Amino acid sequence: MVAIGIGTVAAQSAPAPAPSSAPTPAAPAPQAPAVEIYDARIVASYPHDPKAFTQGLLWHEGTLYESTGREGQSDVRQTDLQTGKVIRRQPIPADQFGEGLALLRGTLFSLTWKDGAIHRWRLKDLAPLKSHTGYPYEGWGLTTLGDALVASDGSSNLRVLDPKTLAVRRTIPVTYSGKPLTMLNELETVDGLIFANVWMTGFVVGIDPATGAVRRVIDLRDLPKPTSAERDAVLNGIAWDAKARRLFVTGKLWDRLYEIELIKRQEPEPVR
Ligand SMILES: [Ca+2]
């Protein structure tokens, strides 16, 4: 069993062998797809703004882009990896709570939590572009999948959004071992899987976008604790440098950002 913090969810395990006296079933029962468990090794550690309430994180051509939350403090920013310094930033309207961030064809998209607004920003200078209003769901995490956006809302559903109209093309019901997995937060598409922070836990899951099944669980509970003692200072923020195949993670109010290497656990034994 691997507990992902929202109740205890059964991890994959080999089916128990049938007793020899049992009749051989005519056909094998359908199996949930195997889940691979990964641990992480820190490859490099970088400074991260400890005031950044990180809601979205991505990598593009040599720098990080990040969106932050909380009313009156929310912004979209470009930051330098080595120093953690903000290169440029644009505030999100002060009455809104910023959420996830994604980049598609030179435009950054950022969600808001309960404000129904999805903002667009020009990549090269973060100039605000046309905002969309009336988005009917909570905004949590955001990433891209092919030519579309994918948004989470804290439930077990991911929504694939048309980037022009922001209409829902389809919904991906996310399951772990056959059961809905809720609290999906920051997102990042990595090698065809949608990685998601599971809110208030030290886990990232890798989701098959075709079926919604969790195929990977990444156990990040051993990352160093942030200096912030706030309850909300949780793991949240995944960025993938596809060219150099570097994976970055950080958290809300974390003073560090880590490049990590994933190491497959040979025996997916119980972790809790
Ligand atoms: Ca991300």
What pLDDT digit, counting tens, does each position of 235-266 carry? 999 999 999 999 999 999 999 999 999 999 98
Ligand 1 centroid to residue 12 C-alpha, Å: 26
52 domain-assigned? yes
Is the pLDDT confidence value at 114 over 50?
Answer: yes
Ligand 1 centroid to residue 188 C-alpha, Å: 4
Q: pLDDT averaged over the chain?
A: 90
Lowest mean pLDDT among 13-27, 90-104, 165-179, 188-202: 13-27
Ligand 1 centroid to residue 55 C-alpha, Å: 8
Q: Of residues 32 and 71, which shows the higher confidence score?
A: 71
Is the pLDDT confidence value at 18 over 70?
Answer: no
Strand partners, 205: 196, 217
62 domain-assigned? yes
When pLDDT is averaged across residues 217-231 and rounded to a whole number, the result is 95
Please spell the DSSP secondary structure of the chain, one letter per residue: -EE-SSSEE----PPPPPPTTSPPPSSPPP-PPP-EEEEEEEEEEEE--TT--EEEEEEETTEEEEEE-STTT-EEEEE-TTT--EEEEEE--TTS-EEEEEEETTEEEEEESSS--EEEEETTT--B---B----S----EEEETTEEEEE-SSSEEEEE-TTT--EEEEEE-EETTEE---EEEEEEETTEEEEEETTSSEEEEE-TTT-BEEEEEE-TTSPPPS---TT--EEEEEEETTTTEEEEEETT-SEEEEEEEEE-SS-----
Q: Tell me, what's the pLDDT at 6?
A: 42
14 domain-assigned? no
| pTM (predicted TM-score) | 0.89
16 domain-assigned? no
Ligand 1 centroid to residue 189 C-alpha, Å: 8
Ligand 1 centroid to residue 271 C-alpha, Å: 26
When pLDDT is averaged across residues 125-149 and rounded to a whole number, the result is 98
Q: Tell me, what's the pLDDT at 239?
A: 98
162 domain-assigned? yes
Ligand 1 centroid to residue 58 C-alpha, Å: 5
Ligand 1 centroid to residue 193 C-alpha, Å: 12
Ligand 1 centroid to residue 14 C-alpha, Å: 33
Residues 90 and 72: their CA atoms lie apart, in Å, by 12
Ligand 1 centroid to residue 235 C-alpha, Å: 12
pLDDT tens by residue, 141-198: 999 999 999 999 999 999 999 999 999 999 999 999 999 999 999 999 999 999 999 9
When pLDDT is averaged across residues 100-107 and rounded to a whole number, the result is 98
Please spell the DSSP secondary structure of 48-81, one letter per residue: --TT--EEEEEEETTEEEEEE-STTT-EEEEE-T
Ligand 1 centroid to residue 22 C-alpha, Å: 49
Is the pLDDT confidence value at 19 over 70?
Answer: no
Strand partners, 99: none
When pLDDT is averaged across residues 42-54 and rounded to a whole number, the result is 98
CATH code of the domain in which 85 resides: 2.130.10.10
pLDDT tens by residue, 79-88: 999 999 999 9
9 domain-assigned? no
211 domain-assigned? yes
Ligand 1 centroid to residue 230 C-alpha, Å: 22
Give me the domain span that covers residue 42.
33-264
Read off the pLDDT band of 272 (50, 70, 90).
very low
Among the listed residues 73, 63, 70, 46, the one whose alpha carbon sits nearest the alpha carbon of residue 103: 63
Based on the structure, what is the number of domains in the chain?
Answer: 1
Q: Tell me, what's the pLDDT at 113?
A: 98
Ligand 1 centroid to residue 118 C-alpha, Å: 16
Is the pLDDT confidence value at 126 over 70?
Answer: yes
28 domain-assigned? no
CA 101 to chain centre: 10
Ligand 1 centroid to residue 17 C-alpha, Å: 41
CB–CB of 98/67 below 8 Å?
A: yes
